[in-house]
Amino acid sequence: MEPLVRPRGVLGHFPGGTAISRIHIYDWPTVDGLRGGAPHVHLLCTEGYVVVGGSGRLQTLGPDGYAETPLRPDEIVWFTPGVIHRAVNDGDLDILVVMQNAGLPEAGDAVLTLPPEFLADAEAYAGQVRLSSPTRMATQDEQVARRRRDLAVEGFLALRERVEAEGPEAGLADFYAAARRLVEPRLSSWHERWERGPLAAARESGRQLAALVDGDTGHLGAGGVFGLAAPRYDRYGMCGRLSAYDAEPERR
């Protein structure tokens, strides 16, 4: 049997190689009269919303076309890679986000639905979405966050029209292809992150299961209690004022 050697970074990390953050969805008005965040897609990560407070809607474009899902307190909604999503704030919408594949969204897994001319060129895209300080809420970045949100809404509305006219497969094909081209240079680093995080966590569970089958309970003696300090809304995210929990847990 493979020895129970715990991979570095697995012990104490959030379950399953996932990550959590807290987002207060933007209440800035948009061109279509709604308030909310920047529509975007994840190419590799399933994302879950736990509605902590307030109310809103999740607008989506995907294989089923356009849809709206209510966001109500204490309810949970999640969506898989390829589902373009837009959080609409109908009143003080506050969300706890659970994200698959911790670290990948921060490494570029999320692609905003900017108009095609920005998606066609990596530098043009980066010029529209890059913040001066991704780790703190710098005053000068509010304008950038608003501009990129507005551009993403513009692109989302155009994609919605195309999906309604041509169907989901044809309507989203060009966007998916452009999104893949944007992230292509990062794919090898994504693989490394996945191996160190979610895959390592899954393999550790497999080793523990094999040990239990063999009557070995040694891993139970290595257990512990861990925690993360309460977050603060300290940066501009795609969907709102964001606070990501510290990536390194504390032993409690």
pLDDT digits (tens, 9 = 90+) for 188-234: 999 998 998 899 889 999 999 999 999 999 989 888 888 888 776 67
Determine the pLDDT at residue 8.
40
The CATH number that applies at residue 148 is 2.60.120.10
Q: Which of 26-35, 126-135, 221-230, 243-252 has the lowest mean pLDDT?
A: 243-252
Angle at 167 between CA 166 and CA 173, to 5 degrees: 85
Q: Is residue 135 predicted with pLDDT exceeding 70?
A: no
pTM, rounded to two decimals: 0.90
Query: 110 - beta bridge partners?
Result: 42
**Any alpha helices (H) in 130-167, and if so which ranges?**
141-166
Distances (CA, A) of 175 to 126, 170, 207: 16, 10, 41
Q: Has residue 250 got a pLDDT over 80?
A: no
- On whether residue 132 sits in a domain, the answer given is yes
In a domain, 4, yes or no: no
Is residue 141 one of the residues assigned to a domain? yes
Residue 163 CA to residue 176 CA, distance in Å, equals: 13
Tell me what the mean pLDDT of segment 134-156 comes to: 90
Does residue 94 lie within any of the structural domains?
yes
Q: Is residue 222 in a domain? A: no
Q: How far apart are CA 149 and CA 165, in angstroms?
A: 24
Q: What is the pLDDT of residue 190?
A: 94
What's the average model confidence in pLDDT over 57-69? Answer: 97
Q: Is 232 exposed, middle or buried (0-12, 13-18, 19+ CB in 10 A)?
A: exposed
Q: Which domain holds residue 110?
A: 15-217+229-245
Confidence band, pLDDT 50/70/90 cuts, at residue 4? very low
What would the mean pLDDT of 67-89 be, rounded to a whole number?
A: 97
Has residue 154 been placed in a domain?
yes
Check whether 152 has a pLDDT greater than 70.
Answer: yes
Q: How many domains does the chain have?
A: 1
The pLDDT assigned to 233 comes to 62
- Mean pLDDT, range 71-94, rounded to an integer: 97
Q: Is residue 9 part of a domain?
A: no
Q: Is the pLDDT of residue 11 over 60?
A: no
Q: Evaluate the CA torsion angle 9, 13, 18, 23 in order and state its sign.
A: negative
Average model confidence (pLDDT) across the chain? 90
Q: How confident is the model at residue 247 (pLDDT cuts 50, 70, 90)?
A: low
3-class SS at 214?
coil
The predicted pLDDT at position 197 comes to 87
Residue 115, pLDDT > 60, answer yes
Residue 79 placed within a domain: yes
